[in-house]
Structure 1
Amino acid sequence: MIASASSNELAKYVEFLKEENKILRSRVPGQIHTKPDERSRLIKLGKALGQAIEELITLVAPSTFYRWCREGDSGKKKPNPKGGQRKSREIREFVIEIAKTTGFGYTRIIGELRKVGIKGISRQTVRNILKEEGIVPGPDRTSDCWDNFVKRHAETLWAVDFFSVKTVTARGLKDMYLLAFLCLSSREVIVSSSTEHPNSAWVVEQTKEFLDQTITREHKPSIVMHDRDTKFTKEFTAALKAKDVRTNVLPVASPNLNGRCERFIQTIKYECLFKFILFGKRHLDHVVSEFADYYNKKRAHMERDHLPPIRKRAPKAVRKLSRNKIEVRSYVGGLVQSFERKAA
């Protein structure tokens, strides 16, 4: 398509790519350090553009690009003003390994080198080695983030959130409320019974039932994270604290931080609850219990390598499998089907 484009069309393509590049560049903070092979490719393509490169290049200043060209033409690298020799490959690889493994800054990396007997390496040398590899300074690597927090505590970290469903009662349509507890590691879910009045006492009661089901496990809950809903009261926190479980309150207006729990709520609504006419509390609780049991034991989950949440081991792999050894089982009143091997 581009090969057959007219000059006017090509100009429009370039304008679009320039604008797209500006947006991408604005999302990348700080400097972008290029590697030698990357600089070579940029020089090769940029030279053909002449002075137009000054309007296009955004990775570095045009003067830096021209310096690259001069150094490339001369075939010489910028001399080391101190006349120092390049460190051996083994030391350089060791510095990179320390940085990637520990996340330490330059000074602490020197400390690790000293401990194993490597001397004569300065902070600037460590900086240059990491810069050539495109590794950012220590503070940017050691600063914690939400994903790291979740990964660190995943086995004992649970999330909780409310959701509501409309049911048909003798008094008309009523909103029923439930609590969903979800394990961040296994993706196992425990859903409470429903209520029309989700007050603090009900929340505490459901939390105690959740703890009764999980507190004796090998990886028992240690943290329960939740949003700032006013129904998560000090009594809720006290009930968890009594079992040595602490709470992690999420920031205001940050539903993405509880996205895994939100995703389950979306799943149970669209795959199950929205496909039923629910008649009151007992009917709703039964349907939710059936789906939660199916979700935990039979429904494949991508984050679990396409295994159900509470299945610990994958089935033995086979090259061929006869169709008559597979059966289709129905769950949640025939709403969902699951393909499973027949019992031996």
Structure 2
Amino acid sequence: MKRPTFPQIFLLSCLAGWLNREQQRVLDYLREENRVLREQLGGKRLRLTDGQRRRLAAKGHAIGRKLLGDVASIVTPDTILRWHRRLIRKKWSYGNEKRGRASIPAETEKLIVRMANENLSWGYRRIQGALANIGETLAHNTVKRVLLDHGIDPATVRSTKTTWKQFLRAHWDTLAATDFFSTEVWTKTGLTTYYTLFVMHVATRRVHIVGSPTAPDGFFMQQAALDLVAFDDSFLRGTTHLILDRDTKFTAGFVEILKEPGVDAVKIPARSPNCNPHAERWVKSIKEECLSRLVLLGRGSLDRAIAQSGRSLQRRASTPVSPECAHRA
């Protein structure tokens, strides 16, 4: 093999120097980028996963501690090398790992959670006894650990709370829901917004349209309350609870008139339409299937559209719904 000539040696030296400078520029950029990212964190400590530690340990060991001191910015070089040594020990100590208590089957865990949710007064030992009746032998501390892992409070706390599902089940046959929905209608003065108030009997999905004013004020709401409860054949006769949101249209006078014959207004949390799903679903259906497909001319056309669409929806929802099915929906 011929010895390289001087021009070839000079060319290789220039190429090596250029590559070295390019690599240095890349390293300088990456260091500066890491500094910017650290500044964005505001001094907060990074929380790395085990997988991220393994990747850094493998790369850091390959380049050595001296070079790590120049490039490492997330953690110190000593930390990276310590992770590497820990990975080596873990690799060769798999045979000496201590085994903890065997975990319980997933089905048993689900059963424990279900018992606690469906029986609010059952404590750890009561659930332990119920499991023993079906052949599942567990310590009460195991039951306690499972419930804590699922964020379920002790019986002393659970028994003082009422979930939304339990409320629905307890008052299903005497429960009603109400809400407003808006519709744009062309009138002589231009495009006018009408606010329709309706009430639904939750178990049967039967709906009563109270009215559609352009500005539902206190007087309208008082008349609406009287229409709902003041007569023997009023829609809310026999109802004990009315679910409504925190809209300011539901005035204090409206609530007081309902309360006289024994109808309690149950206000759902703010910005929680999922707590009044039956009314929300009915509004969505009547808008998507009817109102959004029409150009409404005058108040009369709005009333006719709502009445006809309401009767159609009522025929489809004529089968009574159980509280369990409605809650899942």
- Tell me the TM-score normalised to structure 1 length: 0.50
Percent sequence identity over aligned pairs: 25
CA-CA distance at 1:304 after TM superposition: 6.6
Letter in 2 for 1:288: I
Indicate the residue corresponding to 2:121 in structure 1: 104
Indicate the residue corresponding to 1:26 in structure 2: none
- C-alpha distance in structure 2 between counterparts of 1:266 and 1:222, whole Å: 26
Q: Residue 262 and residue 67 in structure 1: after superposition, are their counterparts in 2 closer, same or farther (change >3 A)? A: farther
> Of 127, 148, 154, which aligns to 2:141?
127
Pair member with larger Rg:
2
Indicate the residue corresponding to 2:76 in structure 1: none
| Paired residues of 1:150 and 1:184 also in contact (CA < 8 A) | no
Q: Residue 144 and residue 166 in structure 1: after superposition, are their counterparts in 2 closer, same or farther (change >3 A)? A: same
Letter in 2 for 1:213: S
Output one character per residue of 1:134-187: Cα deviation in whole Å (capped at 9) or x when no partner: 885534754432233233323222221111111121222211111121233333
Letter in 2 for 1:126: H
- C-alpha distance in structure 2 between counterparts of 1:251 and 1:193, whole Å: 25
Instruction: Report the 3-state secondary structure (helix = DSSP H, G, I; strand = E; otherwise coil) of the residue aligned with 1:237.
Output: helix
Q: Does 1:245 align with 2:263?
A: yes
- C-alpha distance in structure 1 between counterparts of 2:240 and 2:259, whole Å: 10
Indicate the residue corresponding to 2:228 in structure 1: 210
- C-alpha distance in structure 1 between counterparts of 2:153 and 2:163, whole Å: 16
Q: Residue 102 and residue 187 in structure 1: after superposition, are their counterparts in 2 closer, same or farther (change >3 A)? A: same
Instruction: Report the 3-state secondary structure (helix = DSSP H, G, I; strand = E; otherwise coil) of the residue aligned with 1:251.
Output: coil
> For 1:71-220, what aligned pairs fall within 5 Å after superposition?
71=99, 102-106=119-123, 109=126, 125-129=139-143, 131=145, 136=152, 138-139=154-155, 141-142=158-159, 143-211=161-229, 212-216=233-237, 220=238
Indicate the residue corresponding to 1:325 in structure 2: none
Letter in 2 for 1:248: V
Q: Residue 265 and residue 101 in structure 1: after superposition, are their counterparts in 2 closer, same or farther (change >3 A)? A: closer
Output one character per residue of 1:218-238: Cα deviation in whole Å (capped at 9) or x when no partner: xx2111122222221121012
Instruction: Report the 3-state secondary structure (helix = DSSP H, G, I; strand = E; otherwise coil) of the residue aligned with 1:103.
Output: coil
| Paired residues of 1:96 and 1:129 also in contact (CA < 8 A) | no
Gaps of 5+ in 1: 1-17, 20-50, 56-61, 79-94, 114-123, 308-344
| Paired residues of 2:124 and 2:144 also in contact (CA < 8 A) | no
- C-alpha distance in structure 1 between counterparts of 2:189 and 2:307, whole Å: 24
Indicate the residue corresponding to 1:287 in structure 2: 305
Q: Residue 137 and residue 109 in structure 1: after superposition, are their counterparts in 2 closer, same or farther (change >3 A)? A: farther
Gaps of 5+ in 2: 1-50, 53-82, 103-111, 130-137
Instruction: Report the 3-state secondary structure (helix = DSSP H, G, I; strand = E; otherwise coil) of the residue aligned with 1:167.
Output: strand
Instruction: Report the 3-state secondary structure (helix = DSSP H, G, I; strand = E; otherwise coil) of the residue aligned with 1:214.
Output: coil
CA-CA distance at 1:266 after TM superposition: 1.6
CA-CA distance at 1:132 after TM superposition: 6.8
- C-alpha distance in structure 1 between counterparts of 2:154 and 2:267, whole Å: 28
| Paired residues of 1:223 and 1:247 also in contact (CA < 8 A) | yes
CA-CA distance at 1:99 after TM superposition: 5.3
Q: Residue 225 and residue 304 in structure 1: after superposition, are their counterparts in 2 closer, same or farther (change >3 A)? A: closer
RMSD: 4.4
Output one character per residue of 1:65-122: Cα deviation in whole Å (capped at 9) or x when no partner: x8996448xxxx79xxxxxxxxxxxxxxxx9997575333537839x98xxxxxxxxx
- C-alpha distance in structure 2 between counterparts of 1:164 and 1:99, whole Å: 42
| Paired residues of 1:106 and 1:137 also in contact (CA < 8 A) | no
Indicate the residue corresponding to 1:118 in structure 2: none
Question: Between Structure 1 and Structure 2, which shows a larger proportion of helix residues?
Answer: 2
Q: Residue 160 and residue 253 in structure 1: after superposition, are their counterparts in 2 closer, same or farther (change >3 A)? A: same
Q: Does 1:231 align with 2:249?
A: yes
- Tell me the TM-score normalised to structure 2 length: 0.52
CA-CA distance at 1:194 after TM superposition: 1.5
Corresponding residue pairs, total: 216
- C-alpha distance in structure 1 between counterparts of 2:258 and 2:315, whole Å: 27
Indicate the residue corresponding to 1:258 in structure 2: 276
Indicate the residue corresponding to 1:322 in structure 2: none
| Paired residues of 1:166 and 1:174 also in contact (CA < 8 A) | yes
Output one character per residue of 1:43-67: Cα deviation in whole Å (capped at 9) or x when no partner: xxxxxxxx99x99xxxxxx9xxx89
